């Protein structure tokens, strides 16, 4: 049997995902608008005091990013599962972990990267001091791929369930705790001119660890969901 070269299959899958995302670009905006709305609610809820907002800015932006990511995770594997694409991919002989990784990469590029790009606007709204802005962007750039990678495990576990969305958030939010702690503390430290490289370093190691481990867990979960 002439199995397709892994690289070619990986690229074919990425290209398909971008094409599908492009055809459904209106849907992609939903999590981003959600992100903007959530951040807007905070000044309305706690008052517009600039110092208060600046204090809670890293946490608010990061929690909003968490919520927006989880919102888009439910659909990560759902349509491929429901129309039979996933079972054909499993049977194609290609590594399922690699397929999971390709889907996750595509998910980050269309759902995670826009959050990173929007963060300066959010920082401005939340009155985050300029010293923290660069670190906020860096922390989101390192952290949102981790959100996608870990979230993909939850998405794969709940894909065969009719209403997996709520369960998905219950599964993945506890796993996001360390990331949230590290990222917000890095930004807060940068604002008050304290060292933050340690936190960012730990986040990078978290990214490497989840990059190597999470696709295998996702693959196992996908196989299980198909059984």
Which residues in this chain contact other proteins in the complex, by CB under 8 A? 1-5, 8-9, 12-13, 15-16, 19-20, 23-24, 79, 82-85, 87-94, 153, 157-158, 160-161, 164, 167, 170-171, 173-175, 177-178, 181-182, 185, 206, 213, 217, 220-221, 224-227
Task: Choose between 43 and 155: whose C-beta lies nearer to other proteins.
Answer: 155
The tokens for 120 are: 């300066």
Residues belonging to the chain: 227
In the complex, minimum distance from the CB of residue 40 to other proteins, in angstroms, rounded to a whole number = 27
- On whether the CB atoms of residues 93 and 187 are closer than 8 A, the answer is no
Q: How far is CA 189 from CA 51, 136, 182, in A?
A: 16, 11, 10
- The nearer residue to other proteins, 65 or 86, going by C-beta atoms, is 86
Q: 24 or 33, CB closer to other proteins? A: 24
Given a contact cutoff of 8 angstroms between Cβ atoms, the answer to whether 154 and 168 are in contact is yes
CA atoms of 140 and 126, how far apart (whole Å): 16
Q: How far is the CB of 21 from other proteins (least distance, A)?
A: 9
- 105-120 burial by CB neighbour count: b if 16+ within 10 A, else e? bbbbbbbbebbbebbe
Q: What is the per-residue burial (b if ≥16 Cβ within 10 Å, else e) of 212-224?
A: eebbebbbbbbee
CB of 92 to other proteins, least distance (A): 5
Output 15 or 197, the one with its CB closest to other proteins. Answer: 15
Least separation in angstroms between residue 28's CB and other proteins is: 13
Query: Considering the complex, what minimum distance in angstroms separates the CB of residue 118 from other proteins?
Result: 25
Q: Which is nearer to other proteins, 26 or 44 (CB)?
A: 26
Cα–Cα dist 132/146, whole Å = 21
Q: How far is the CB of 115 from other proteins (least distance, A)?
A: 22
- With respect to other proteins, which residue has the nearer C-beta, 43 or 132? 132
Q: CA-to-CA distance for 187 and 77, rounded, in angstroms?
A: 33
């Amino acid at each position: 049997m002439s199995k397709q070269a892994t690289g070619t299959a990986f690229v074919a899958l990425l290209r398909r995902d971008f094409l599908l995302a492009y055809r459904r670009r209106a849907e992609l905006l939903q999590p981003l608008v959600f992100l903007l709305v959530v951040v807007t609610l905070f000044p309305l809820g706690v008052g517009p005091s600039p110092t208060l907002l600046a204090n809670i800015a890293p946490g608010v932006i990061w929690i909003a990013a968490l919520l927006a990511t989880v919102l888009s995770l439910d659909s990560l594997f759902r349509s491929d599962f429901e129309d039979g694409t996933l079972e054909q991919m499993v049977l194609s002989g290609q590594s399922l972990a690699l397929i999971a990784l390709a889907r996750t990469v595509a998910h980050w590029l269309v759902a995670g990267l826009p959050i990173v790009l929007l963060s300066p606007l959010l920082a401005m709204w939340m009155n985050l001091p300029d010293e923290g802005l660069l670190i906020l962007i860096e922390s989101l750039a390192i952290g949102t791929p981790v959100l996608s990678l870990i979230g993909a495990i939850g998405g794969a576990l709940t894909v065969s369930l009719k209403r997996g969305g709520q369960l998905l958030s219950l599964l993945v939010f506890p796993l996001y705790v360390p990331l949230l702690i590290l990222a917000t503390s890095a930004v807060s430290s940068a604002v008050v001119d304290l060292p933050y490289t340690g936190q960012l370093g730990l986040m990078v190691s978290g990214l490497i660890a989840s990059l190597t481990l999470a696709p295998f867990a996702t693959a196992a979960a996908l196989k299980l969901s198909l059984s």
